[in-house]
Amino acid sequence: MSGSTTRNFKANAARELANDTLRAALTKSKGHFTDGRTTAAENLPEFEALRDQSRDIKNHTIENLDFYLEAYEEKVRESGGHVHWARTAEDARQIVLGICRSVDAKAVNKGKSMISEECEINEMLEANGIRAVETDLGEYIIQLRGEKPSHIIAPAVHLTKGQVEESFRANHTHLDPDRVLEEPPTLLDEARTILRKKYFEAEVGMTGANLLIAETGSSIIVTNEGNGDLSQLIPKVHIVLASVEKIVPTLEDASTILRVLARSATGQEFSSYTTLSTGPKREGDPDGPEQYHVILLDNGRTDMIGTEFQEMLRCIRCGACMNHCPVYQSVGGHAYGWVYPGPMGSVLSPGLLGVDEAGHLPNASTFCGRCEEVCPVRIPLPKMMRNWREQEFEKHLSPGTARVGLGLWAFMAKRPKLYQLATGLQMRLLARIGHAKGRLSSLPLAKGWTKYRELPAPEGRTFQSRWKSGERPL
Amino acid sequence: MSEAPRVALFVTCLVDLFRPSVGFAAVKLMQDAGCTVEVPEAQTCCGQPAYNSGDRKDTIAIAKQVIAAFEGYDHVVAPSGSCAGMIMKHYPELLADDPDWETRATDLAGRTHELISFLTDVLKVENVAAAFDGTVTYHDSCSGLRELGIHDQPRQLLDGVDGLHLRELEDANVCCGFGGTFCVKYPDISNRMVSNKTEQIVATGAETLLAGDMGCLMNMAGKLQREGANVRVRHVAEVLAGMTDTPAIGEPSDGSAN
Ligand code: SF4
């Protein structure tokens, strides 16, 4: 898929690790998300039960996906809307373009949508002379900077306030240089002033969806800025671009999931705005779009059904896994090289891009398990990363040197006598080399280790040989 | 207890090779609590290097070997949450397709424990007779914490050690960046993670860092030493067993170990 640099994960990561501003930005946001989630979870006695229910709702829906999608489609039609099926990102782009052209659109207002990123809608619009206006503050900022989101709910989390101010001053040339723009509220005000004007210029408004409801044919978005509401209410046409697994059976199910979503994401009990939209403007409605379109994107997701990765389709895109991931917190979202970073991306991206392209991601994990611990729908992320590693191993995609080393080790590990003989000798040798200092500062076969740390020398003889020769604790 | 429980020590590859003292400390702690401890000869490693590299076939072969070697003991105990977790949580899953082996794996999983939680939760040890003068801090290794729920147990026993003062580590539950082969496959990322960790360790002002897993301990010790930090690193079992005469991890020995 175009636009992915996932293959270069190692180089990307090295570049990001050297970026001190990124480090400052991540350090600042980390505690905010993790402490927030902890408190929110502790304050709701039924939080764990709600996680179980959310998991079960999503499992049930995925097992009956065609049924609920068809039911949803019918409801959307009944309410006067249109449903379009997109097998691929290219299909989705063509459908969006077709709708825009049908109303001769010059500009599209956009609410935050990761599916739009996945389908590279902005690039397509611009290439066709249509302006894409991001209305979410974070998305707006990175659009100004020509960047990609680095987080699925906080797209500009990799930036500091200073960098945002810089971008505003560079782009909003009307700004009085003395105007204070240092704090998030003043930055938000400035963005609002610009965006409010633009809301009224666009012919098409496009949003994602946090949930789609089969029972009513509604789509739900949650935001903290209310930008999504304006994007979808003011223009003539509202396009909802969502992936198929966003569907849930009923409003009741949606409310169960919403109760864990914001708590897991930001630690809020509920996002500031939860907006349902069902069909176009009806007679007597004070406002609303004339046309309502839903584009349902598959793009490889249904291929995951029936495989060991099916459970990944439960993901509700809360971002908790990356907020708690020490690898994500070290390298930031851009290192992952595509739309979905962090643990969820490490499982999903190989599914959508292929394991040849995204093979690094499931390997770049210590399996510390924090992601699974906080995932509101209890996705066993480490287990699925291991499944990808197994596929890579079987396809011989893992590096040759690592395979030889591992093969040799496994050969020995399966032969205890030989193992004990060989390791006994090696350890005594290492102990002798590291004897004076108690540690080794460099070792040819352990460069990855000794580049950054000392290798503690072994004490001498192995435990097993000492035990066998009769040594016992005093 | 009517008869002394017969315990097999799964010493773990890193303790076996790098830090036998931890093995002897484990044996002492269990003997003091009334166990008969044996060390089955056919043990090498729990198989995690293969398992986490996606090599399922070799992992299964190693798992079967461990299962066979540890049959018949009342308990199997490892001084590591990671290796105990491998046997307890992953062996049954790995062998789920083979009914005979799955039964044996589940049986072993039920008898297997991480050392410190074995002392407190199974043997009901409340206090160890040990003394250690100084301030320590404690890192919760990931598998022990999240797979096995080990958190209070080491703190409870450390609380009873004479002269020991525990100062809690900020982000004690965050990974130290070891991750087995991760630390050599992604050294730059691992380095950032362990640097964050050592910064917080140093900030506690503790003279000694303790944890329950050799991998994490070697990683943190190696980094602290590279940075020239004045912090000694030990496995928690060494302190609980009162066996702290040996040099700390990565410190020079007095020359008698060979
Ligand atoms: S995998 Fe879980 S924690 Fe991560 S974004 Fe999805 S739902 Fe949230």
DSSP per residue, A17-81: HT-HHHHHHHHHHHHHHHHHHHHHHHT-TTHHHHHHHHHHHHHHHHHTHHHHHHHHHHHHHHTT-
Q: Which residues of B3-34 are buried (b: 16+ CB within 10 A; e: fewer)?
A: eebebbbbbbbbbbbbbbbbbbbbbbbbbbbe
Tens digits of per-residue pLDDT, B170-228? 999 999 999 999 999 999 999 999 999 999 999 999 999 999 999 999 999 999 999 99
The protein residue with its alpha carbon nearest to ligand 1, atom 8, reads A318
Q: What's the mean pLDDT in A451-469? A: 94
Summarize the confidence of residues A271-297 as an average pLDDT.
94
* CA Rg value for chain A: 26
Domain contains A232? yes
Per the structure, the count of domains in chain A is 3
A349 falls within a domain? yes
Q: What's the CATH code of the domain at A106?
A: 3.40.50.10420
Kindly give the distance from the C-alpha atom of residue A211 to the centroid of ligand 1, in angstroms, as a whole number.
Answer: 14
Residue A293 sits in the same domain as residue A420:
no
Q: What is the pLDDT of residue A195?
A: 80
Of B62, B189, B222, nearest to A413 by CB-CB distance is B62
User: Looking at the partner chain, which of A389, A393, A463 has a beta carbon nearest the beta carbon of B16?
Assistant: A463
Within 77-136 of B, beta carbons closer than 8 Å to A belong to: none
Q: Which of A394, A414, A443 represents a domain boundary (last residue)?
A: A394
**Per-residue model confidence as pLDDT tens digits over B31-50:** 999 999 999 999 999 999 99
Same-domain status, A384 and A429: no
Nearest CA to ligand 1 atom 6: A315
Q: Which residues of A touch B50 (CB under 8 A)?
A: 406, 409-410, 413
A69 and A95, same domain (yes or no)? yes
Which residue in B has a C-alpha nearest to residue A431's C-alpha? B258
Q: Are residues A232 and A125 in the same domain?
A: yes
- Show the ligand 1 pocket: residues with CB < 6 angstroms: A 315-321, 344, 375-377, 379
**Domain check: are A384 and A459 in the same one?**
no
Residues A188 and A329 in one domain: no
Phi and psi at residue A277, in whole multiples of 5°? -130, 135
Q: Could you tell me which of A195, A133, A141, A131 has the C-alpha nearest to residue A167? A: A141
Contact yes or no for A473 and B27 at CB 8 A: yes
- Asked if A353 and A329 sit in the same domain, the reply is yes
Where exactly are the structural domains of chain B? 6-121, 126-240
Name the band, by pLDDT with cuts 50, 70 and 90, for residue B2. Answer: low
Residues in chain A: 474
Pick from A256, A250, A244, A253: nearest CA to A216: A250
* pLDDT computed for residue B16 by the predictor: 95
Flag whether pLDDT at A434 surpasses 50. yes
Q: Closest Cα of chain B to A464: distance in Å? A: 6
Contact A232, A205 (CB under 8 A): yes
A18 within a domain of the structure (yes/no) = no
Helices A184-199/A161-171 angle, 10° precision: 40
Compute φ and ψ for B25, nearest 5 degrees: -65, -40
Domain contains A171: yes
| Residues paired with residue A110 on neighbouring β-strands, in sequence order | A134, A206
Q: Of A297, A332, A358, which closes a domain? A: A297
- Inspect the interface and report whether the beta carbons of A386 and B41 lie closer than 8 Å: no
Is residue A43 included in any domain, yes or no? Answer: yes
A45 touches chain B (CB under 8 A): no
Distance CA B83, CA B81 (A): 6
Q: Write out pLDDT tens, residues A182-219.
A: 777 787 788 888 888 777 889 999 999 999 999 999 99
| Last residue of one domain, picked from the residues A297, A330, A351 | A297
- Indicate if A373 and A405 belong to the same structural domain: no
Pairing of strands B75-78, B36-38: unpaired
Domains B6-121 and B126-240 share a fold: yes
Q: What is the pLDDT of residue A184?
A: 74
Minimal-distance CA residue of chain A relative to B45: A413
- CATH code at B6-121: 3.40.50
Q: Are residues A418 and A366 in the same domain?
A: no
Task: Kindly report the number of other CB atoms within 10 A of residue A444's CB atom.
Answer: 6
What gap in Å lies between CA A444 and CA B257, rounded to an integer? 25
| Beta pairing partners, B223 | none
| Closest protein CA for atom 4 of ligand 1 | A321
Cross-chain residue pair A463–B11, CB shorter than 8 Å: yes
- Let me know if residue A10 belongs to a domain: no
User: What is the CB-side half-sphere exposure of residue B193 using CA atoms within 13 A?
Assistant: 30
ipTM score here?
Answer: 0.96
Which tokens hold the place of A317?
């895109």
pLDDT value of residue B54: 94
Residues A233 and A343 reside in one and the same domain: no
Domain that holds residue A347: 319-394
pLDDT tier at A446, thresholds 50, 70, 90: confident
- Residue B1 confidence class, pLDDT cut points 50, 70, 90: very low
Please identify which residue in the block is written with the tokens 């016992």: A472
Test A366 with B142 for CB contact under 8 angstroms: yes
Residue A101 and residue A250 in one domain: yes
First-residue to last-residue Cα distance in chain A: 64
Residue A128 lies in a domain: yes
> In CATH terms, is domain B126-240 a member of 1.10.10.10?
no
Q: What's the pLDDT score for residue B258?
A: 36
Are residues A430 and A461 both part of a single domain?
Answer: yes
Closest CA–CA distance from residue B99 to any residue of chain A (Å): 21
Q: Does residue A90 carry a pLDDT above 70? A: yes
- DSSP class of residue B68 equals H
Residue A2 has pLDDT above 70, yes or no: no
